[in-house]
Chain A
């Protein structure tokens, strides 16, 4: 009996163990393929270059080409409700860190993917535009923050998790190299070779226009160095003008983003004013635009004309919240063409404002820079060319902003303040008119103002937290937390991380004739 009992027991133990072995084998036959379960069904591990390029470009233009802090601190805009940008309070790290970090993680990372995919396939029609846009994107970072990660940036997937901060001088050298190589390589693209085509929201894959844009940007950034490194300025200008691709020929070459205006992808300026009712044009801007036919484009007539009898005028910058509130109806809103139509607080502007283009660079700006170069005898240009270029630039700007009244334009150009004077006075006119023409292009109006000191009426308001207009932004808070060593090295080289430290191209104001 006992023996039988044991035998049964043994059978069952063995049986049980066998059962376990079976489950073990089931586990085993699953483990062969278990990692297949982990193939992500939601997102691919590669994506079309065009879709990446378009996404990066939408993000970059949304971020930079909008009325931002730069346009407020250089007093093209002001606020009547919470004037904390006017006083520079919200221009500190809390207010600007997001732009800095997302430029790297969203658009620059995507441009890098397009460039590496395009280069490995030797398709300059793909990587050329991405190189141009990437260099332009980096310029916005270095112009507003100073030394930033560049040569080691965007390479976490190659093991560089904490990139060093490059000196601005070196970043500029890299940007020039990018523009040069992009223009050269795009020139060599045979017809029929792949381009970005309709995925290029700027030029629709037209490489001739991309070459002009690359060379025009090269002119812009060459001029930016004029106070610290005129030799480079001269060399880059000459190279840009000599490139067979040429520079912008007319407004038809403008690098712009035409927005669908579908409620999802709207002109970012119109999106901003749609969600707030406190944006006004600044008095500093409207004071510079007396008799300017563009004033009625840039600004709306005031609701209450007790201060501005002619119907247009801006709010003083940097005043207290209490004083600012009084300007609610006394100062002009930004022009109707930027308005989104119906907003939560009423109707503002036209709904077409959502489709208004964002300008990355214009023919007008190129001609102002050319006029300046000519006046200073740079880039192989003669000073005699300055006046013509200056007038061409103003006329291009008028056309760009939709001013077509020839009589008014002619009369405006003839007014004593506008008629070209030549010399340092001429340079001041060029700088001021460029600043006006660049309306709402925040990084450019701020950079050009710092470089030229024009208009000189931009001075801090009474509530400003520093007694000068900020020369740069504070570095991003995330970088301080997780890339501290490299950031500290940059600060040690460049100067304290505050509004007052002058970045490389801004470091020799004494060399700027228009600042004297």
Chain B
């Protein structure tokens, strides 16, 4: 916290600037005698198109249509020339049209427009940086839109999962858990250690995309180094039903005006707002109910049960029987022989052996059919001057994991008031997320992990029926390393609740017909309570001397943002018009976290700090960050075909040292609509051609508190002695901003009356002066050091191909869009003496950024091989671990999405295929499955009396140099593959049938009975089919949105969901 006086002063500064800025732009009315151009803009079916922009060419005169599609433009007498003027109507998603009229003083000339829907939006009005609407034809940068309809074709458990496949150049990886993380990158990763996820904007205001992923630390519970539940990202608080459009600004060029955080691209979300309904209320509702199932199970073996070396007998699951502490299935053949088991009956104190038989479904049957119910209802109403919209949404998900659920409640209210030159609008979104028992992932408590180390003979029903023994102990097949999975989910409740409020207030004043001023304030606040409880007897997380343990965290985040903008749009000479913007922003982000935990409580079941038997650990952490900015842009358009725009911005960041805390970055872009410049180009084949190019630079600041090395206090005293230690990170008082420069060139082409469109971009980005918490030699006394070093270059190509293969008079309509993107990254340099930075590590495999190599290389051990022949070297008949080597790169070679929409009379249908080609992953699940003898491939060589008993590894014996002939057991062979990462590194290519939908518009005669104009009933499905060569696991997984990707362990399978959606329109 700052001293109170200091804060007050700052508040005054903000207020003073806001108030004075506002007073200066107060209304002064000026009117002139005029001619009028008026008319109506409609769709092909005759409905009025509201909010279309109608303008008079060569002037800055224009107007927006009202909700009936009507407009009126008055031309001041001074501007009258007596000649014909060209009037053009434009609206997002429609092809612009122009007509010629001759205005005369005191009279009204009529110009009506019928606009046709554009399949892939080459032209029209789009929302660009800072919420400014621009003609797409004038943009020199790449951006792509997702409409509400395309976004919500099917519903996922997570909002951002619904972007998948819909934007060229966006790579999306979901976690498969309700409310879990989704990793998004646009055009590859720029930063070695920093954030590589895009910036989210809601109604003009930046909002938080904080992600806890699985890295969320529960404090200092005994042995709790990584309890691993994916808490997901807060962007999922947005209700997709409230989204009107999403504009994706793909690179630094498009996003230069957003400053520091724009280098990774910007996702601009515009929420639905009120309409002029003539004062009536209109109601719209959507309901979806779906069944969810796990898509992929392990390929288990069902011939051999628990034990090692073929032997097993149960006494206490702690090693007192024969191999009964073993969590492996290298035991006896499950041929019905009688063996004492954990669920064998005990008669007179003697455990009676029972048949040793397989239970092939034991692990898979733990998963159940989940279900999701999503409802949204909204009410809209308004007049010409005042409009409002109120919506409620609710999602209830019962997971495929027992006793795990996720609930979301959302509400949005927006309103606007328009009077003369003054417009005020505001929106509030409230969301409440409640997750109960999110399924754990990662090592130890993960549900999938329970089955990776397992006895294949275990009868799941026994575990489900009972999880306490008569004397109060835990009832399980193993008592050493594992918990009964049902007991884990029912007795160790995790609960977290997040309340989120996003509010924006905007006031706009049209100073003249070409200049407007906007003052906008927004705040994004959330509070998140995260509780984890561990019951007595939990093997991993509690101190067994006590009655259980718990951790309770509370996190709060506030982002506030104040913008003052001046917008100008003016014709400055004949054939030359200008769009300009000047603005300033004050931004502040405050985060606070507190956490109470204890590894031991006194009385079971009371997870309250007053019940702590071991002195609780209390942790506190807060950050405060400010950025102040001024910026401007000016775009000049010549003759409606050539636009040149320049942008500039300076940021002052609190996280950089005073002598480096301001940084300026410029940008320039241009676009040329060739078919307007040379109308002769336009013909039967070519209908539209535009080329564009852009260059921009974007700066980025550091995370807070990297300038001074600190000492960290321990959260628990040693007896009565307080403990402090020097931080592991060596700070740097001379940090400089990180800089990304980007150049891009693109073309947008339309053929055959725009029935085929191509929007393609090539880009090259270069990020320097990266702020790294570089891993330095630990012998230097520090683990990491904050430095500016390193340079990453990304270049890539992305294209969207839109085709309308069918559009006939009978109402049959088929549109098809294919998005494609490829990105190549290269870590150009790091810092002298440093060749590699570790991004993540798991089981001795590391993910690195190494100089001269692509970003995200997986390093691990290979097999030891003969250098000339490449044959495996064996020792004692077993393969040998070889050198640490590069095993591949985690990034895909290309990603794509193929989206198809069909319409025929009352029917509409669509499907979306997601393509992910290339990229490697290291799968610990597969390694563990081999170690523990669970997976079907470990049957190789098990049977000693087969024709080829045991395993003879095809290789060269290390000692003799001759071909290996030593026969080893299957168990010895698979155990020897431990940490030979090469064996478990896979190609992560996949194709997913991400979305499919078949809808039917109910007849009006039916819907009128429900007081509805129309209703559509749809059968919807998500993740229906996956094609992948990856064994045992889902190729799509993530544990968070950080840079640690490509390492898999005990991942939960993606859900396949099939359901019904009813959409009722007013």
Contacts and interface: CB of A to CB of B under 8 A. Distances in A.
A8 B512 contact: yes
A94 B845 CA distance: 11
Interface residues of A, number: 108
B725 A110 contact: yes
Contacts of B653: 34
A161 B780 contact: yes
A102 B716 CA distance: 20
Interface in A113-163: 113, 148-149, 153-157, 160-163
A42 B777 contact: no
Given A52-B711, A344-B537, A19 B777 contact: no
B587 to A, nearest CB: 11
Nearest to B546: A263
A341 interface: yes
Interface stretch (B9-17, B82-90, B169-177): B9-17
A15 B778 contact: no
A56 interface: yes
Contacts of B6: 33, 36
B10 A30 contact: yes
B567 to A, nearest CB: 10
B1 interface: yes
Contact of A16 (B24, B599, B783): B24
Contacts of A80: 319
Given A34-B654, A277-B319, A155 B780 contact: yes
B871 interface: no
B844 A94 contact: yes
Contacts of B546: 263
B30 interface: yes
B24 A15 contact: yes
Given A16-B517, A19-B24, A29-B13, A483 B720 contact: no
B709 A157 contact: yes
A184 interface: no
B604 interface: no
Nearest to B846: A481
Nearest to A44: B711
A359 B325 CA distance: 33
A265 B715 CA distance: 12
B61 interface: no
Interface string A1-44: 11011001101110111111011111101110111111011111
A406 interface: no
Contact of B25 (A15, A58, A346): A15
A481 B836 contact: yes
A249 interface: no
Contact of A263 (B318, B543, B714): B543
Interface in A141-197: 148-149, 153-157, 160-163
A464 B30 CA distance: 95
A263 B32 contact: no
| Most chain B CB within a 10 A radius of its CB, from A50, A59, A157, A481 | A481
Given A12-B512, A20-B582, A154 B564 contact: no
A407 interface: no
Contact of A157 (B308, B515, B782, B836): B782
A328 interface: yes
B715 to A, nearest CB: 9
A263 B600 contact: yes
A54 B723 contact: yes
A104 B776 CA distance: 12
Contact of B620 (A42, A52, A100, A341): A42
Contacts of A47: 711, 713, 724-726
A346 B318 contact: yes
A37 B590 CA distance: 10
Interface stretch (B449-457, B624-632, B907-915): B624-632
B727 A478 contact: no
A13 B32 CA distance: 19
Contact of B32 (A5, A154, A274, A344): A5
A379 interface: no
B721 A50 contact: yes
Interface string A55-82: 1101100000000000000000000110
B719 A265 contact: yes
Nearest to A13: B515
B713 A43 contact: yes
| Most chain A CB within a 10 A radius of its CB, from B620, B711, B838 | B711
A263 to B, nearest CB: 4
B677 to A, nearest CB: 31
Contacts of B705: 38, 40, 42
Interface string A259-291: 010111100000000110110000000000000
Contacts of B936: none
Given A41-B1, A263-B546, A325-B319, A31 B25 contact: no
A277 B730 contact: no
Given A19-B25, A24-B584, A37-B625, A351 B10 contact: no
B544 A344 contact: yes
A482 to B, nearest CB: 5
Contacts of A12: 25, 28, 511-512, 515
B20 interface: yes
A108 to B, nearest CB: 7
Interface string A298-325: 0000010000000000000000011001
A325 B705 CA distance: 52
A114 to B, nearest CB: 10
A56 B517 CA distance: 60
A179 B106 CA distance: 104
A137 B244 CA distance: 63
B812 interface: no
Contact of B320 (A41, A45, A329, A479): A329
Interface in B25-43: 25, 28, 30, 32
Contact of B21 (A23, A40, A155): A23
B769 interface: no
A342 B613 CA distance: 15
A479 to B, nearest CB: 6
A333 B506 CA distance: 73
Interface string B597-622: 00110000000000001110100111
B2 interface: yes
B946 interface: no
B319 A479 contact: no
B779 interface: yes
A245 interface: no
Contacts of B716: 264-265
B5 to A, nearest CB: 11
A4 B778 CA distance: 73
B1057 interface: no
B577 interface: no
Given A20-B566, A162-B833, A51 B16 contact: no
Contacts of B621: 42
Contacts of A156: 730, 776, 780-782, 785
Nearest 7 A-B pairs (CB), nearest first?
Answer: A26-B17, A23-B584, A154-B781, A101-B778, A483-B777, A47-B711, A156-B780
Given A23-B630, A47-B725, A201-B721, 14 more contacts: A24-B630, A31-B662, A35-B657, A41-B1, A101-B783, A109-B726, A113-B726, A162-B780, A162-B833, A263-B600, A278-B325, A345-B318, A478-B778, A479-B777
20 contacts: A16-B511, A19-B564, A27-B584, A38-B704, A47-B726, A48-B724, A51-B724, A52-B711, A104-B779, A109-B726, A109-B781, A110-B726, A156-B730, A163-B777, A199-B721, A201-B719, A262-B615, A264-B614, A343-B544, A482-B776
Interface of B: 1-2, 6, 9-10, 13-14, 16-18, 20-22, 24-25, 28, 30, 32, 76-78, 220, 222-223, 308-309, 318-320, 322-323, 325-326, 479-480, 511-512, 515, 517, 537, 539, 543-546, 564, 566, 582-584, 586, 599-600, 613-615, 617, 620-622, 624-626, 628-630, 652-658, 661-662, 704-705, 707-714, 716, 718-728, 730, 775-783, 785, 833-836, 838, 844, 979
